[in-house]
Amino acid sequence: MTATQTAIALWTLVLKEIKRFTRIWPQTLLPPSITMSMYFIIFGSLIGSRIGEMDGFTYMDFIVPGLIMMAVITNSYSNVASSFFSNKFQRSVEEMMVSPMPNWVILTGFVLGGMARGLGVGLIVTLVSLFFTRLNVAHPLLTVGVVVLTAALFSIGGFINALLANKFDDVSIVPTFVLTPLTYLGGVFYSITLLPPLWQGVSLLNPILYMVNVFRHGFLGVSDIPVGWALAAILTFIVILYSIALWMLERGKGIRS
Amino acid sequence: MAEPALSIRGLTKVYGNGFHALKGIDLDVAQGDFFALLGPNGAGKSTTLGVVCSLVQKTAGKVEIFGIDIDRDFARAKYHLGVVPQEFNFNQFEKVIDIVLAQAGYYGMPRREALPRAEQLLTDLGLWDKRNGSARMLSGGMKRRLMIARALMHRPRLLILDEPTAGVDIELRRSMWEYMRRINREEGTTIILTTHYLEEAESLCRQVAIIDHGNIVRNTSVRELLAELDTETFLLDLARPVETLPHLAGFEVSRVEPAQLAVMVHRGQRLNDLFAALSKEGIQVVSMRNRANRLEEMFVSMVEQGSDSAEREASSLEARA
């Protein structure tokens, strides 16, 4: 394919993915907005007022970045996992496979679609948070950069999950049993400095902790861990997972007999 | 001489469970041909086409599409290929127009070019009025036509139709046949068709290959194949029922119903002799027709022979083991 044809193919796929999740917005965009509003009301306003300060900030200000990141992670992942698996299930993935579109375009198209939903939901949650607090962004570039990279990383993860999945249950196992616990234990609701030294050490093995902390650093200017290391770790994971996903696609894993 | 639209050499496919779906088949389809690939279920038709379309990974062998080796440049080969699969494989929740436009996009076709093409194809196939409806609302026949429109969006030179009229009523099937004939005749599109309706293959195709147990058992023109037909069975509707089976010298006769006989006529036998024998027995015939279509008889006899030899092969393997 020429560069123009490749660009048209990629844009077609991205646009199709965006159309898909906006067409079913009551399932994709509305629920996270309502859930996060509940978090803001219950944890931020009602319970948060009794908790006091966390790392020198009000509890509401502390949890807002974590909750935005949580929404971005779960939505990026589940968008690609469910969309690509649905394509496999309905066999419409064959439309792409019989076309001359390179595998990297297919992968990138789905990843960009997942990022669009993750970042879109992240934006909605950010706007909802403005009803509860005034947001100050200490490092705008870092904030945007880390949320984009995180959305990319989890979109790739969702793609791999969909390639490996044989039934719809397989698509929900990772979000339910891996992503949600790691996100809750990733410093969304607390600073790891509150934990005993042993559990602080264990927490450092949780990759989501790094993303939440860097994102929070972007907003508040404070972080439990070094920002440079965290960014390098996210980038490394993106490169590794993208390569694995592409290799699986080239091998036809889960889609070719 | 122009290279074949499709050239297959030594194509072998062994699935993960050890099943030998293709046992080194060779096949050529000339440019502009209307080609039938026939065979019973599980014979290897869909596996062959799956390899050509990149949906199935071959174990060994070489496939060229208009001279382009798929192992060297599959992307370029795919530009020449349009595929209408056996099962519906589009997102049922998408709009009809979005499905065909997305397919054009996957081939890198700009929207300004894709829109008029989509309008033309959907109009030709009677789907333009349904363009803004969800694909799941279409009838079975409409869904099949949608897949044809989608496959033709990028103007392929080779169109693969895997049972395109399965489950389609006779009237619609005939209008689809006419459409396929038109694109083959007017646009020079090479068409490979698999079908269970042998009448369809006889009516549409010039060349035919019969695949059975992963081997091509015949590859010839439909005309030549029919010329080899040794026997035809005719059904005779009688003016009055017959009590006992009449003796018609030289002909094998069976009674289908009290007022209907089935008579096998071998090559070289004359229908005049049959009618003379019937008259001698005092039997009056009201009407007469072929029991099945001619290609079907040929196909059944070949596949039966193939099954017999496969069984013999299996039992001799068993005996040796």
Domain ranges of chain A: 3-251
Nearest chain B Cα distance for residue A235, angstroms: 29
3-state secondary structure (DSSP) of residue B9:
strand
A217 within 8 A of A142, measured Cβ to Cβ:
yes
State residue B257's pLDDT score. Answer: 86
| A12 touching B (Cβ < 8 Å) | yes
Residue of A89, A99, A253, A257 to mutate, interface with B, max B Cβ within 10 Å: A99
Beta strand pairing status for B207-212 and B260-266? unpaired
| Residue in B closest to A6 by C-alpha | B108
Nearest in space to A8 (alpha carbons), one of B107, B90, B79: B107
Nearest in space to B63 (alpha carbons), one of B6, B1, B2, B25: B6
Token look-up 């927490």 returns A203
| Residue in B closest to A102 by C-alpha | B75
State residue B265's pLDDT score. Answer: 85
| Residue in A closest to B151 by C-alpha | A95
Task: Give the separation between CA B86 and CA B147, rounded to whole angstroms.
Answer: 10
Task: Give the separation between CA A233 and CA A222, rounded to whole angstroms.
Answer: 19
Query: A–B: how many Cβ contacts below 8 A?
Result: 87
Beta strand pairing status for B60-65 and B6-14? antiparallel
Find the mean pLDDT for residues B317-321: 41
Mean pLDDT of chain B: 86
Q: How confident is the model at residue B229 (pLDDT cuts 50, 70, 90)?
A: low
State residue B307's pLDDT score. Answer: 59
* Residue B60, strand partner residues: B12
B82 within 8 A of B154, measured Cβ to Cβ:
yes
CB contact under 8 Å between A95 and B105, yes or no, is no
State residue A150's pLDDT score. Answer: 95
Looking at mean pLDDT, say which of B165-174, B178-187, B244-253 comes out highest: B178-187
Residue of A12, A15, A23 to mutate, interface with B, max B Cβ within 10 Å: A12
* Closest CB to B79 among A23, A90, A100: A100
State residue B226's pLDDT score. Answer: 74
Find the mean pLDDT for residues B152-174: 86
Task: Give the separation between CA B11 and CA B63, rounded to whole angstroms.
Answer: 8
Residues 6+ apart with CB under 8 A from A252: B57
Find the mean pLDDT for residues B273-294: 83
More confident call, B243 vs A164:
A164
CA A95 to chain centre: 27
Q: What is the pLDDT of residues A160-192, one digit of tens each?
A: 999 999 988 898 888 888 888 898 888 888 888
* Closest CB to B90 among A8, A9, A95: A95
CA dist list (Å): A238 to A11, A156, A176, A234, B295? 21, 8, 22, 6, 58
Residue B270, token pair as written in the block? 């004359």
More confident call, B2 vs A245:
A245
Nearest chain B Cα distance for residue A128, angstroms: 31
More confident call, A162 vs B166:
A162
Nearest chain B Cα distance for residue A244, angstroms: 20
Find the mean pLDDT for residues B109-114: 95
Helical residues (DSSP H) of chain A, grouped into ranges? 3-23, 25-28, 30-39, 48-51, 59-89, 93-97, 103-129, 140-164, 168-174, 180-184, 197-203, 207-220, 227-251
ipTM for this prediction: 0.87
State residue A101's pLDDT score. Answer: 94
Rounded to 5 degrees, φ, ψ at B63 are -130, 130
| A95 touching B (Cβ < 8 Å) | yes
Find the mean pLDDT for residues A195-212: 87
CA dist list (Å): A26 to A22, A30, A86, B111? 9, 5, 18, 29
State residue B220's pLDDT score. Answer: 86
Q: Is the dihedral of CA A200, A205, A207, A211 positive or negative?
A: positive
Task: Give the separation between CA A49 and CA A47, rounded to whole angstroms.
Answer: 6
CB contact under 8 Å between B109 and A8, yes or no, is yes
Task: Give the separation between CA B39 and CA B36, rounded to whole angstroms.
Answer: 10
> Domains, chain B, ranges and CATH?
6-226 (3.40.50.300), 229-290 (3.30.70.1560)
Question: Any idea which of A188-192, B46-50, B169-173 has the lowest mean pLDDT?
Answer: B169-173
Nearest chain A Cα distance for residue B126, angstroms: 22
